[in-house]
Amino acid sequence: MRQQKLIALLAVLAAVALAIIGWSFLQPREHAFIAATADPRATDAAMEVLEDGGTALDAAIAAQAVLTLVEPQSAGLGGGAYLLYWDERARKLTAYDGRETAPAGISPDIFVDIGGNPRPFMDAVVSGESVGVPGIVAMFAMAHEEHGKRPWSSLFGHARDLAENGFTVSPRLAALIDWSPGLERMPTAQAYFFREAEDGSMQPLRAGDELKNPAYAETLRKLAEEGPEVFYTGTIAQEIVRTVRGAPTRAGSLSMSDFRAYRPLKREAICLPYRVYEVCGMPPSTSGGLTSLQILGILENFDMSAIKPGSADAVHLISEASRLAYADRDKYIADPAFIDVPVKGLLDKAYLAERAKLIDMNQAMGRAPAGTPPEQTGALAPDASLEIPSTTHMSIMDRWGNVVSMTASIEGPFGSHLMAGGFFLNNELTDFSFLPEIDGVPIANAVAPGKRPRSSMTPTMIFNGDGSFYAAIGSPGGSRIIGYVTQSVIALIDWDFDMQSAIDLPRHVNRNGPTELEKGTALEDIAGELANRGHFVQIEDMTSGLHGIRKTEKGYEGGADPRREGTVLIGHPGQ
Protein backbone atom coordinates (compact mmCIF):
# COMPACT_ATOMS: atom_id res chain seq x y z
CA MET A 1 0.00 0.00 0.00
CA ARG A 2 2.82 2.40 0.94
CA GLN A 3 4.52 1.65 -2.37
CA GLN A 4 1.30 2.36 -4.27
CA LYS A 5 0.85 5.70 -2.48
CA LEU A 6 4.46 6.62 -3.34
CA ILE A 7 3.90 5.74 -7.00
CA ALA A 8 0.68 7.77 -7.05
CA LEU A 9 2.43 10.76 -5.46
CA LEU A 10 5.28 10.57 -7.98
CA ALA A 11 2.73 10.41 -10.78
CA VAL A 12 1.01 13.53 -9.52
CA LEU A 13 4.31 15.38 -9.14
CA ALA A 14 5.33 14.30 -12.64
CA ALA A 15 2.03 15.52 -14.06
CA VAL A 16 2.42 18.86 -12.32
CA ALA A 17 5.99 19.18 -13.55
CA LEU A 18 4.97 18.34 -17.11
CA ALA A 19 2.14 20.86 -16.91
CA ILE A 20 4.50 23.57 -15.72
CA ILE A 21 7.08 22.72 -18.37
CA GLY A 22 4.43 22.57 -21.04
CA TRP A 23 2.98 25.88 -19.90
CA SER A 24 6.42 27.51 -20.03
CA PHE A 25 6.96 26.28 -23.58
CA LEU A 26 3.62 27.76 -24.60
CA GLN A 27 4.38 31.20 -23.21
CA PRO A 28 6.12 33.68 -25.53
CA ARG A 29 9.72 34.01 -24.40
CA GLU A 30 10.51 37.60 -23.46
CA HIS A 31 13.69 39.20 -24.77
CA ALA A 32 15.02 42.62 -25.65
CA PHE A 33 12.71 45.14 -27.30
CA ILE A 34 13.87 47.82 -29.70
CA ALA A 35 12.57 50.90 -31.50
CA ALA A 36 14.10 52.90 -34.34
CA THR A 37 12.16 55.97 -35.47
CA ALA A 38 12.75 59.32 -37.18
CA ASP A 39 12.74 61.47 -34.02
CA PRO A 40 14.04 60.84 -30.48
CA ARG A 41 10.70 61.91 -28.98
CA ALA A 42 8.88 59.34 -31.08
CA THR A 43 11.41 56.67 -30.11
CA ASP A 44 10.85 57.57 -26.45
CA ALA A 45 7.09 57.22 -26.90
CA ALA A 46 7.52 53.80 -28.50
CA MET A 47 9.82 52.65 -25.71
CA GLU A 48 7.36 53.77 -23.03
CA VAL A 49 4.72 51.52 -24.57
CA LEU A 50 7.13 48.61 -24.99
CA GLU A 51 8.31 48.92 -21.39
CA ASP A 52 4.67 48.93 -20.27
CA GLY A 53 4.05 45.59 -21.94
CA GLY A 54 2.72 46.85 -25.26
CA THR A 55 3.26 45.15 -28.58
CA ALA A 56 5.25 46.49 -31.50
CA LEU A 57 1.94 47.58 -33.05
CA ASP A 58 0.95 49.52 -29.91
CA ALA A 59 4.34 51.23 -29.94
CA ALA A 60 4.03 52.15 -33.62
CA ILE A 61 0.74 53.95 -32.98
CA ALA A 62 2.23 55.93 -30.09
CA ALA A 63 5.32 56.80 -32.11
CA GLN A 64 3.32 57.97 -35.14
CA ALA A 65 1.11 60.16 -32.93
CA VAL A 66 4.30 61.96 -31.85
CA LEU A 67 5.78 62.12 -35.36
CA THR A 68 2.59 63.82 -36.59
CA LEU A 69 3.45 66.64 -34.18
CA VAL A 70 7.26 66.90 -34.28
CA GLU A 71 7.87 65.76 -37.90
CA PRO A 72 4.77 67.26 -39.58
CA GLN A 73 6.56 67.73 -42.90
CA SER A 74 6.87 63.99 -43.44
CA ALA A 75 3.90 61.97 -42.23
CA GLY A 76 0.96 62.03 -39.90
CA LEU A 77 -2.69 61.34 -39.18
CA GLY A 78 -3.60 63.26 -42.33
CA GLY A 79 -1.86 60.73 -44.56
CA GLY A 80 -1.40 57.03 -45.15
CA ALA A 81 0.98 54.15 -44.49
CA TYR A 82 2.06 50.64 -45.36
CA LEU A 83 2.75 48.30 -42.46
CA LEU A 84 4.29 44.83 -42.27
CA TYR A 85 3.60 42.94 -39.04
CA TRP A 86 5.47 39.80 -38.02
CA ASP A 87 3.59 37.72 -35.44
CA GLU A 88 6.37 35.73 -33.79
CA ARG A 89 4.16 33.19 -32.04
CA ALA A 90 2.04 32.48 -35.12
CA ARG A 91 5.10 32.84 -37.38
CA LYS A 92 2.96 34.87 -39.75
CA LEU A 93 3.65 38.01 -41.77
CA THR A 94 0.73 40.32 -42.57
CA ALA A 95 0.69 43.38 -44.84
CA TYR A 96 -1.62 46.29 -44.02
CA ASP A 97 -2.44 48.82 -46.75
CA GLY A 98 -3.45 52.20 -45.32
CA ARG A 99 -2.91 54.14 -48.54
CA GLU A 100 -5.16 57.11 -49.25
CA THR A 101 -7.96 56.89 -51.82
CA ALA A 102 -9.19 59.43 -54.37
CA PRO A 103 -12.59 61.00 -53.69
CA ALA A 104 -15.63 59.82 -55.65
CA GLY A 105 -16.01 63.25 -57.25
CA ILE A 106 -12.52 63.41 -58.75
CA SER A 107 -12.07 63.90 -62.50
CA PRO A 108 -9.60 61.73 -64.48
CA ASP A 109 -8.10 64.90 -66.02
CA ILE A 110 -7.95 66.89 -62.77
CA PHE A 111 -4.21 67.55 -63.18
CA VAL A 112 -4.40 68.43 -66.90
CA ASP A 113 -4.58 72.05 -68.10
CA ILE A 114 -6.92 73.34 -70.82
CA GLY A 115 -4.23 72.68 -73.42
CA GLY A 116 -4.05 69.00 -72.50
CA ASN A 117 -0.70 69.30 -70.74
CA PRO A 118 0.18 68.34 -67.15
CA ARG A 119 -0.36 71.22 -64.73
CA PRO A 120 2.67 72.64 -62.86
CA PHE A 121 3.45 70.18 -60.11
CA MET A 122 3.50 72.52 -57.10
CA ASP A 123 0.28 74.23 -58.21
CA ALA A 124 -1.39 70.84 -57.99
CA VAL A 125 0.27 70.02 -54.65
CA VAL A 126 -0.65 73.17 -52.72
CA SER A 127 -4.40 72.81 -53.09
CA GLY A 128 -7.46 70.96 -51.90
CA GLU A 129 -7.49 68.90 -55.10
CA SER A 130 -4.42 66.90 -54.05
CA VAL A 131 -5.93 65.54 -50.80
CA GLY A 132 -6.98 61.90 -50.62
CA VAL A 133 -8.92 60.21 -47.82
CA PRO A 134 -6.34 59.63 -45.03
CA GLY A 135 -5.87 55.92 -44.33
CA ILE A 136 -3.42 55.59 -41.47
CA VAL A 137 -5.90 55.82 -38.58
CA ALA A 138 -8.19 53.15 -40.08
CA MET A 139 -5.18 50.95 -40.80
CA PHE A 140 -3.96 51.31 -37.21
CA ALA A 141 -7.43 50.47 -35.90
CA MET A 142 -7.58 47.28 -37.98
CA ALA A 143 -4.08 46.16 -36.98
CA HIS A 144 -4.58 47.10 -33.32
CA GLU A 145 -7.70 44.96 -33.07
CA GLU A 146 -5.64 41.99 -34.20
CA HIS A 147 -2.24 42.68 -32.63
CA GLY A 148 -2.65 45.31 -29.91
CA LYS A 149 -2.28 44.57 -26.21
CA ARG A 150 -2.51 48.04 -24.63
CA PRO A 151 -5.89 49.85 -24.77
CA TRP A 152 -6.32 52.13 -27.80
CA SER A 153 -7.08 55.05 -25.46
CA SER A 154 -3.68 54.70 -23.74
CA LEU A 155 -1.56 55.20 -26.86
CA PHE A 156 -1.89 58.96 -27.42
CA GLY A 157 -0.89 60.41 -24.04
CA HIS A 158 2.77 61.05 -24.84
CA ALA A 159 1.93 62.97 -28.00
CA ARG A 160 -0.90 64.87 -26.32
CA ASP A 161 1.41 66.04 -23.52
CA LEU A 162 3.89 67.36 -26.07
CA ALA A 163 1.14 69.14 -28.00
CA GLU A 164 -0.29 70.78 -24.88
CA ASN A 165 2.95 71.66 -23.09
CA GLY A 166 5.05 72.46 -26.13
CA PHE A 167 7.95 70.89 -27.98
CA THR A 168 11.22 72.17 -29.38
CA VAL A 169 11.42 72.83 -33.11
CA SER A 170 14.22 70.66 -34.50
CA PRO A 171 16.84 71.89 -36.98
CA ARG A 172 15.36 69.79 -39.81
CA LEU A 173 11.83 71.04 -39.21
CA ALA A 174 13.05 74.65 -39.02
CA ALA A 175 14.98 74.29 -42.28
CA LEU A 176 11.95 72.89 -44.10
CA ILE A 177 9.63 75.60 -42.76
CA ASP A 178 12.08 78.18 -44.08
CA TRP A 179 12.37 76.38 -47.43
CA SER A 180 8.76 75.44 -48.16
CA PRO A 181 7.33 77.76 -50.82
CA GLY A 182 3.66 77.08 -50.03
CA LEU A 183 3.22 77.50 -46.28
CA GLU A 184 2.70 81.26 -46.45
CA ARG A 185 -0.13 80.70 -48.96
CA MET A 186 -2.19 78.77 -46.41
CA PRO A 187 -3.45 80.92 -43.50
CA THR A 188 -3.57 78.14 -40.88
CA ALA A 189 -0.07 76.90 -41.70
CA GLN A 190 1.29 80.43 -41.73
CA ALA A 191 -0.24 81.20 -38.32
CA TYR A 192 1.24 77.99 -36.93
CA PHE A 193 4.79 78.30 -38.26
CA PHE A 194 5.38 82.05 -38.63
CA ARG A 195 5.64 84.93 -36.16
CA GLU A 196 5.42 88.65 -36.79
CA ALA A 197 8.78 90.42 -36.45
CA GLU A 198 9.35 93.96 -35.19
CA ASP A 199 9.40 95.25 -38.76
CA GLY A 200 5.96 93.74 -39.40
CA SER A 201 7.24 90.92 -41.60
CA MET A 202 6.30 87.29 -40.98
CA GLN A 203 9.32 85.22 -40.01
CA PRO A 204 9.49 81.41 -39.83
CA LEU A 205 10.20 79.61 -36.59
CA ARG A 206 13.82 78.75 -35.91
CA ALA A 207 15.47 75.68 -34.44
CA GLY A 208 15.12 75.74 -30.68
CA ASP A 209 11.85 77.68 -30.64
CA GLU A 210 9.05 76.23 -28.52
CA LEU A 211 5.79 75.34 -30.28
CA LYS A 212 2.42 74.30 -28.86
CA ASN A 213 -0.45 72.74 -30.75
CA PRO A 214 -3.71 72.77 -28.73
CA ALA A 215 -5.75 71.83 -31.81
CA TYR A 216 -3.77 68.61 -32.22
CA ALA A 217 -4.04 67.88 -28.49
CA GLU A 218 -7.83 68.07 -28.88
CA THR A 219 -7.69 65.72 -31.89
CA LEU A 220 -5.74 63.20 -29.82
CA ARG A 221 -8.22 63.52 -26.96
CA LYS A 222 -11.06 62.72 -29.34
CA LEU A 223 -9.22 59.75 -30.83
CA ALA A 224 -8.47 58.35 -27.38
CA GLU A 225 -11.94 58.86 -25.93
CA GLU A 226 -14.18 58.32 -28.95
CA GLY A 227 -12.10 55.80 -30.85
CA PRO A 228 -10.97 55.73 -34.48
CA GLU A 229 -14.55 56.13 -35.74
CA VAL A 230 -14.43 59.85 -34.91
CA PHE A 231 -11.82 60.23 -37.64
CA TYR A 232 -14.11 58.86 -40.35
CA THR A 233 -17.67 59.63 -39.28
CA GLY A 234 -17.33 62.31 -36.60
CA THR A 235 -16.05 65.81 -36.01
CA ILE A 236 -12.50 65.19 -37.22
CA ALA A 237 -13.73 64.01 -40.62
CA GLN A 238 -16.10 66.97 -40.79
CA GLU A 239 -13.26 69.43 -40.18
CA ILE A 240 -11.05 67.80 -42.83
CA VAL A 241 -13.88 67.97 -45.39
CA ARG A 242 -14.55 71.63 -44.61
CA THR A 243 -10.86 72.43 -44.94
CA VAL A 244 -10.45 70.67 -48.31
CA ARG A 245 -13.64 72.04 -49.82
CA GLY A 246 -12.81 75.53 -48.57
CA ALA A 247 -9.15 75.54 -49.61
CA PRO A 248 -7.93 79.00 -50.66
CA THR A 249 -6.28 77.47 -53.74
CA ARG A 250 -8.30 74.99 -55.85
CA ALA A 251 -10.84 73.46 -53.48
CA GLY A 252 -11.18 69.68 -53.55
CA SER A 253 -14.24 67.46 -53.79
CA LEU A 254 -13.56 65.32 -50.69
CA SER A 255 -16.81 64.48 -48.87
CA MET A 256 -18.11 62.71 -45.76
CA SER A 257 -19.31 59.85 -47.96
CA ASP A 258 -15.67 59.37 -49.08
CA PHE A 259 -14.63 59.04 -45.44
CA ARG A 260 -17.43 56.59 -44.65
CA ALA A 261 -16.48 54.51 -47.67
CA TYR A 262 -12.78 54.23 -46.80
CA ARG A 263 -11.48 50.77 -45.90
CA PRO A 264 -7.93 49.75 -45.01
CA LEU A 265 -6.86 46.50 -46.62
CA LYS A 266 -5.12 43.44 -45.30
CA ARG A 267 -2.97 41.95 -48.06
CA GLU A 268 -0.59 39.05 -48.49
CA ALA A 269 3.04 40.11 -48.33
CA ILE A 270 5.18 39.30 -51.37
CA CYS A 271 8.45 37.42 -50.82
CA LEU A 272 11.41 36.28 -52.89
CA PRO A 273 14.35 34.02 -51.98
CA TYR A 274 17.65 35.91 -52.06
CA ARG A 275 20.78 33.88 -51.35
CA VAL A 276 19.97 31.86 -48.20
CA TYR A 277 17.39 34.40 -46.99
CA GLU A 278 13.84 35.33 -47.92
CA VAL A 279 13.11 39.02 -48.46
CA CYS A 280 9.51 40.18 -48.03
CA GLY A 281 7.77 43.45 -48.83
CA MET A 282 4.45 45.17 -49.45
CA PRO A 283 2.48 44.24 -52.56
CA PRO A 284 0.76 46.84 -54.74
CA SER A 285 -0.80 49.43 -54.30
CA THR A 286 2.80 50.42 -53.55
CA SER A 287 5.44 49.69 -56.15
CA GLY A 288 8.15 49.51 -53.50
CA GLY A 289 8.11 45.87 -52.51
CA LEU A 290 7.72 44.51 -56.03
CA THR A 291 10.40 46.75 -57.58
CA SER A 292 12.89 46.07 -54.78
CA LEU A 293 12.37 42.32 -55.11
CA GLN A 294 12.83 42.57 -58.88
CA ILE A 295 16.19 44.28 -58.40
CA LEU A 296 17.27 41.57 -55.97
CA GLY A 297 15.96 38.84 -58.28
CA ILE A 298 18.05 40.22 -61.15
CA LEU A 299 21.13 40.52 -58.93
CA GLU A 300 20.62 36.92 -57.76
CA ASN A 301 22.29 36.05 -61.06
CA PHE A 302 25.53 37.79 -60.04
CA ASP A 303 28.01 37.15 -57.22
CA MET A 304 27.57 40.41 -55.32
CA SER A 305 29.68 39.16 -52.41
CA ALA A 306 32.73 39.17 -54.69
CA ILE A 307 32.24 42.84 -55.60
CA LYS A 308 33.61 45.60 -53.35
CA PRO A 309 30.92 47.81 -51.77
CA GLY A 310 30.98 51.32 -53.24
CA SER A 311 33.12 50.29 -56.20
CA ALA A 312 32.32 51.23 -59.79
CA ASP A 313 31.41 47.58 -60.46
CA ALA A 314 28.94 47.55 -57.54
CA VAL A 315 27.30 50.84 -58.48
CA HIS A 316 27.16 49.87 -62.16
CA LEU A 317 25.58 46.48 -61.51
CA ILE A 318 22.98 47.74 -59.02
CA SER A 319 22.17 50.69 -61.30
CA GLU A 320 21.61 48.44 -64.33
CA ALA A 321 19.38 46.06 -62.37
CA SER A 322 17.48 49.09 -61.05
CA ARG A 323 16.93 50.48 -64.56
CA LEU A 324 15.26 47.23 -65.59
CA ALA A 325 13.06 47.04 -62.49
CA TYR A 326 12.02 50.72 -62.61
CA ALA A 327 11.08 50.30 -66.28
CA ASP A 328 8.65 47.53 -65.32
CA ARG A 329 7.43 49.57 -62.34
CA ASP A 330 6.54 52.59 -64.45
CA LYS A 331 4.52 50.52 -66.89
CA TYR A 332 2.78 47.81 -64.89
CA ILE A 333 2.29 48.75 -61.22
CA ALA A 334 -0.76 50.55 -59.88
CA ASP A 335 -3.74 49.90 -57.59
CA PRO A 336 -4.59 46.20 -58.18
CA ALA A 337 -8.30 46.93 -57.69
CA PHE A 338 -8.15 48.83 -61.01
CA ILE A 339 -5.24 47.22 -62.89
CA ASP A 340 -4.33 43.54 -63.21
CA VAL A 341 -0.74 43.78 -61.94
CA PRO A 342 1.29 40.73 -63.07
CA VAL A 343 2.96 40.21 -59.68
CA LYS A 344 3.90 36.55 -60.23
CA GLY A 345 5.19 37.27 -63.71
CA LEU A 346 7.33 40.19 -62.58
CA LEU A 347 8.92 37.97 -59.91
CA ASP A 348 9.25 34.90 -62.14
CA LYS A 349 12.78 33.54 -61.77
CA ALA A 350 13.20 32.77 -65.47
CA TYR A 351 11.90 36.21 -66.45
CA LEU A 352 14.35 37.95 -64.09
CA ALA A 353 17.21 35.79 -65.37
CA GLU A 354 16.41 36.92 -68.92
CA ARG A 355 16.33 40.54 -67.77
CA ALA A 356 19.72 40.03 -66.10
CA LYS A 357 21.23 38.98 -69.45
CA LEU A 358 20.67 42.55 -70.69
CA ILE A 359 23.35 43.81 -68.31
CA ASP A 360 26.81 44.44 -69.76
CA MET A 361 29.43 45.00 -67.05
CA ASN A 362 31.38 47.32 -69.36
CA GLN A 363 28.61 49.50 -70.77
CA ALA A 364 25.51 51.15 -69.33
CA MET A 365 22.36 50.32 -71.28
CA GLY A 366 20.89 53.82 -71.14
CA ARG A 367 17.15 54.01 -70.68
CA ALA A 368 15.88 50.46 -70.24
CA PRO A 369 12.65 49.28 -71.87
CA ALA A 370 10.00 47.48 -69.87
CA GLY A 371 9.94 43.73 -70.35
CA THR A 372 6.99 41.48 -71.06
CA PRO A 373 6.52 39.35 -67.95
CA PRO A 374 4.46 36.16 -67.96
CA GLU A 375 0.73 36.72 -67.43
CA GLN A 376 0.85 40.30 -68.72
CA THR A 377 -2.12 41.17 -70.93
CA GLY A 378 -3.21 44.43 -72.51
CA ALA A 379 -1.31 47.50 -73.66
CA LEU A 380 -0.14 50.08 -71.12
CA ALA A 381 1.91 53.27 -71.49
CA PRO A 382 4.84 53.97 -69.13
CA ASP A 383 4.50 56.61 -66.43
CA ALA A 384 7.17 58.07 -64.16
CA SER A 385 5.06 60.15 -61.77
CA LEU A 386 7.01 62.56 -59.60
CA GLU A 387 7.21 61.75 -55.89
CA ILE A 388 8.63 64.30 -53.45
CA PRO A 389 11.10 62.77 -50.95
CA SER A 390 9.30 63.43 -47.66
CA THR A 391 8.11 60.40 -45.70
CA THR A 392 9.05 58.52 -42.50
CA HIS A 393 9.92 54.97 -41.50
CA MET A 394 10.04 53.08 -38.23
CA SER A 395 11.14 49.57 -37.27
CA ILE A 396 10.03 48.19 -33.89
CA MET A 397 10.32 44.84 -32.08
CA ASP A 398 8.57 44.01 -28.80
CA ARG A 399 9.64 41.66 -25.99
CA TRP A 400 7.83 38.71 -27.61
CA GLY A 401 9.60 39.05 -30.95
CA ASN A 402 6.70 40.67 -32.85
CA VAL A 403 7.98 43.18 -35.38
CA VAL A 404 6.62 46.25 -37.20
CA SER A 405 8.18 47.69 -40.33
CA MET A 406 6.10 50.72 -41.32
CA THR A 407 6.56 53.52 -43.82
CA ALA A 408 4.14 56.44 -43.60
CA SER A 409 3.70 59.65 -45.57
CA ILE A 410 1.67 62.74 -46.32
CA GLU A 411 3.83 63.19 -49.47
CA GLY A 412 4.93 66.79 -48.97
CA PRO A 413 6.95 68.25 -47.42
CA PHE A 414 3.89 69.38 -45.44
CA GLY A 415 1.57 67.56 -47.84
CA SER A 416 -1.05 69.84 -49.38
CA HIS A 417 -0.02 72.54 -46.84
CA LEU A 418 -3.61 72.45 -45.55
CA MET A 419 -4.13 71.87 -41.82
CA ALA A 420 -7.16 70.45 -39.99
CA GLY A 421 -7.31 69.38 -36.37
CA GLY A 422 -3.74 70.56 -35.83
CA PHE A 423 -2.17 68.25 -38.44
CA PHE A 424 -1.30 68.50 -42.12
CA LEU A 425 -3.36 66.89 -44.86
CA ASN A 426 -1.72 64.80 -47.56
CA ASN A 427 -1.16 65.64 -51.21
CA GLU A 428 -0.93 61.96 -52.19
CA LEU A 429 -3.20 62.35 -55.21
CA THR A 430 -0.28 63.97 -57.04
CA ASP A 431 1.33 60.50 -56.96
CA PHE A 432 -1.09 59.61 -59.76
CA SER A 433 -0.02 60.16 -63.34
CA PHE A 434 -1.08 63.66 -64.35
CA LEU A 435 -1.95 62.30 -67.79
CA PRO A 436 -4.55 59.50 -68.09
CA GLU A 437 -3.06 58.18 -71.35
CA ILE A 438 -0.27 58.67 -73.89
CA ASP A 439 -1.11 58.52 -77.61
CA GLY A 440 -4.36 56.78 -76.78
CA VAL A 441 -2.69 54.08 -74.66
CA PRO A 442 -3.90 54.06 -71.02
CA ILE A 443 -1.57 54.59 -68.07
CA ALA A 444 -1.91 52.09 -65.20
CA ASN A 445 -1.48 54.81 -62.55
CA ALA A 446 -4.08 57.18 -64.00
CA VAL A 447 -6.48 59.05 -61.70
CA ALA A 448 -9.80 57.35 -60.87
CA PRO A 449 -12.42 57.72 -58.10
CA GLY A 450 -11.73 55.46 -55.12
CA LYS A 451 -8.31 54.48 -56.47
CA ARG A 452 -5.11 54.32 -54.42
CA PRO A 453 -2.25 56.26 -56.06
CA ARG A 454 0.93 54.30 -56.72
CA SER A 455 3.58 54.66 -54.03
CA SER A 456 7.26 53.80 -53.67
CA MET A 457 7.15 53.08 -49.93
CA THR A 458 9.15 49.92 -49.24
CA PRO A 459 8.82 48.55 -45.69
CA THR A 460 10.84 45.34 -45.77
CA MET A 461 11.50 42.27 -43.62
CA ILE A 462 14.14 39.59 -44.10
CA PHE A 463 13.85 36.02 -42.81
CA ASN A 464 16.39 33.27 -42.30
CA GLY A 465 16.21 30.03 -44.25
CA ASP A 466 14.29 28.38 -41.40
CA GLY A 467 11.63 31.10 -41.52
CA SER A 468 12.78 32.94 -38.40
CA PHE A 469 13.00 36.73 -38.31
CA TYR A 470 16.31 38.28 -39.34
CA ALA A 471 15.85 42.01 -40.06
CA ALA A 472 13.42 44.85 -40.75
CA ILE A 473 14.22 48.06 -42.61
CA GLY A 474 12.69 50.88 -44.64
CA SER A 475 13.21 54.51 -45.59
CA PRO A 476 11.63 57.77 -46.74
CA GLY A 477 12.81 59.38 -49.96
CA GLY A 478 10.12 59.47 -52.65
CA SER A 479 10.81 57.20 -55.61
CA ARG A 480 14.41 56.84 -54.39
CA ILE A 481 13.13 54.81 -51.43
CA ILE A 482 13.34 51.61 -53.46
CA GLY A 483 17.02 52.15 -54.17
CA TYR A 484 17.87 53.11 -50.59
CA VAL A 485 16.23 50.02 -49.13
CA THR A 486 17.50 47.57 -51.75
CA GLN A 487 21.07 48.81 -51.41
CA SER A 488 20.84 48.29 -47.64
CA VAL A 489 19.47 44.76 -48.05
CA ILE A 490 22.41 43.93 -50.33
CA ALA A 491 24.80 45.29 -47.69
CA LEU A 492 23.21 43.16 -44.95
CA ILE A 493 23.11 39.93 -46.96
CA ASP A 494 25.90 40.02 -49.56
CA TRP A 495 28.45 42.13 -47.71
CA ASP A 496 27.68 41.02 -44.15
CA PHE A 497 27.34 44.57 -42.82
CA ASP A 498 25.80 45.27 -39.43
CA MET A 499 22.61 47.34 -39.50
CA GLN A 500 24.16 50.72 -38.75
CA SER A 501 26.95 50.23 -41.28
CA ALA A 502 24.42 49.24 -43.95
CA ILE A 503 22.45 52.41 -43.22
CA ASP A 504 25.57 54.60 -43.21
CA LEU A 505 26.66 53.51 -46.70
CA PRO A 506 26.90 56.31 -49.29
CA ARG A 507 23.71 56.27 -51.35
CA HIS A 508 23.38 55.76 -55.09
CA VAL A 509 20.17 55.36 -57.07
CA ASN A 510 19.17 54.82 -60.67
CA ARG A 511 15.47 55.27 -61.51
CA ASN A 512 15.95 54.34 -65.18
CA GLY A 513 17.62 57.63 -65.88
CA PRO A 514 20.74 59.31 -64.50
CA THR A 515 22.94 57.40 -62.08
CA GLU A 516 22.65 59.54 -58.95
CA LEU A 517 25.53 59.57 -56.47
CA GLU A 518 25.30 61.03 -52.97
CA LYS A 519 27.01 64.39 -52.71
CA GLY A 520 29.98 64.68 -50.38
CA THR A 521 30.72 60.94 -50.25
CA ALA A 522 33.41 58.63 -51.60
CA LEU A 523 31.12 57.78 -54.49
CA GLU A 524 32.10 61.05 -56.16
CA ASP A 525 35.53 59.48 -56.73
CA ILE A 526 34.10 56.87 -59.13
CA ALA A 527 31.97 59.30 -61.15
CA GLY A 528 34.52 59.41 -63.96
CA GLU A 529 34.80 55.63 -64.21
CA LEU A 530 31.01 55.34 -64.36
CA ALA A 531 30.85 58.03 -67.05
CA ASN A 532 33.37 56.04 -69.08
CA ARG A 533 30.94 53.11 -68.99
CA GLY A 534 28.18 55.29 -70.41
CA HIS A 535 26.44 56.46 -67.23
CA PHE A 536 25.02 59.97 -67.13
CA VAL A 537 26.14 60.81 -63.59
CA GLN A 538 24.49 63.34 -61.31
CA ILE A 539 25.82 64.30 -57.88
CA GLU A 540 22.87 64.87 -55.55
CA ASP A 541 21.95 65.43 -51.92
CA MET A 542 20.26 62.22 -50.80
CA THR A 543 18.50 62.51 -47.47
CA SER A 544 17.51 58.92 -46.87
CA GLY A 545 15.97 58.13 -43.49
CA LEU A 546 16.63 54.43 -43.06
CA HIS A 547 15.67 52.83 -39.76
CA GLY A 548 16.25 49.15 -39.16
CA ILE A 549 16.61 46.37 -36.62
CA ARG A 550 18.38 43.02 -36.88
CA LYS A 551 18.67 39.80 -34.90
CA THR A 552 22.21 38.48 -34.56
CA GLU A 553 23.88 35.58 -32.76
CA LYS A 554 24.85 38.02 -30.00
CA GLY A 555 21.42 39.62 -29.61
CA TYR A 556 19.65 42.52 -31.26
CA GLU A 557 20.90 45.66 -32.96
CA GLY A 558 19.35 48.68 -34.60
CA GLY A 559 20.34 51.54 -36.84
CA ALA A 560 19.15 55.10 -37.43
CA ASP A 561 20.10 57.17 -40.46
CA PRO A 562 22.57 59.97 -39.57
CA ARG A 563 21.20 62.01 -42.48
CA ARG A 564 18.09 62.77 -40.41
CA GLU A 565 17.25 63.10 -36.71
CA GLY A 566 16.23 59.56 -35.82
CA THR A 567 17.35 57.40 -32.91
CA VAL A 568 17.33 53.76 -31.92
CA LEU A 569 16.86 52.46 -28.36
CA ILE A 570 17.05 48.94 -26.94
CA GLY A 571 15.37 47.90 -23.69
CA HIS A 572 15.04 44.73 -21.63
CA PRO A 573 12.09 43.46 -19.59
CA GLY A 574 12.49 44.22 -15.91
CA GLN A 575 14.88 47.12 -16.38
Pair 214, 167: CB distance under 8 Å: no
Active-site residue, selected from the candidate residues 37, 391, 407, 458: 391
Please confirm, yes or no, whether 567 is among the known catalytic residues.
no
Query: What is the sign of the dihedral through the CA atoms of 392, 397, 398 and 401?
Result: positive
Bridge partner residues of 363 (DSSP):
360
Distance from C-alpha of 440 to C-alpha of 470, rounded to nearest angstrom? 47
Q: How many helices (H) and strands (E) does the chain have?
A: 19, 24
Rounded (5°) CA angle 157-158-159: 95
Residue 550 exposed, middle or buried by CB count within 10 Å (0-12, 13-18, 19+): buried
What is residue 518's three-state secondary structure?
Answer: strand
Helix (H) or strand (E) segment spanning residue 549: strand 547-552
Helix (H) or strand (E) segment spanning residue 441: strand 441-442
- Residue 155 φ/ψ, nearest 5 degrees: -95, 0
Q: How would DSSP label each residue in 164-211?
A: HH-EEPPHHHHHHHHH-SSGGGSHHHHHHHEEE-TTS-EEE--TT-EE
* Entry field: residues in the chain: 575
Distance from C-alpha of 354 to C-alpha of 166, rounded to nearest angstrom? 57
Distance from C-alpha of 248 to C-alpha of 127, rounded to nearest angstrom? 8
Catalytic positions:
391
